[in-house]
Amino acid sequence: MSRLVPGPLILHRHFAPEDRMAEVICGLVMVLSFTAATASIFENTTSHALLFAILGCNISWGIVDGVTYILGNLLNRGARARLILQIKSAPDDPNVSQAIAARIENVIGELLTPQQSEQVQQWIIQGASRAQAQPTHLRKEDLYTALACFAIVFRAAIPVLIPFLLIKDEVVALRVSNGLILAMLFAIGWRWAPFANMNRLATGLGLLSLGVVLVLITVALGG
């Protein structure tokens, strides 16, 4: 699996592979949508001004996404603690059994027979009787996740900023940057397709088409 999934060890530890892919895609799509929607606004500005505008957009998106992941981690741990309390207070409650079954189905449901799923539910109920529901609070892992999220979004935008440093004509720089984003979307789809058990070419073309469609939508809506 480590050969299939790119990225340093710290990201593997604190950030799921599918989440990393989603963050890179969102970062690139955000820049692409921003540049397409604001092209007319920055028509008479300089390439450097466009660079700082796009950089600011990307930084703000990374911060918002990092905070969102922290909140998601807190909600997930809170739901786990709540489930433990529910199991302890009423292990025979049908609603509790449904909640456990739903969690099993989301993770490994297709790999288990109904009898095996029932056995796993019993193990979970037995384990919850021994576990303690921990208070929901911020952990250092949450900060690592938020920083990783920000770093992924920020790093994704660095290559598409290069044209604004090298090309003085802001229109040409903008088009080259958009072309780089589309190429990167295709490359990301190609690289990550094996991890998702999908066809490389189809995934790459799918992400590239997504970028093109977003540009067309923003232009059609007056961007």
Contacts 24+ apart (CB under 8 A), 53-56: 54/157, 54/160, 54/161, 54/164, 54/177, 55/157, 55/161
- Which of 68, 87, 53 lies closest to 161, judged by CA? 53
How far, in Å, CA of 34 to CA of 99, rounded?
Answer: 41
Per residue in 143-180, pLDDT (tens digit) is 888 888 888 888 888 888 888 888 887 778 888 888 88
Residue 13: pLDDT band with limits 50, 70, 90 = low
Span 41-64, average pLDDT: 76
Residue 186: pLDDT band with limits 50, 70, 90 = very high
Residues 6+ apart with CB under 8 A from 65: 23, 26, 149, 150, 153
Residue identified by tokens 């604190």 is 14
Question: Domain locations in the chain?
Answer: 9-68+138-220, 81-130
Prediction pTM value? 0.67
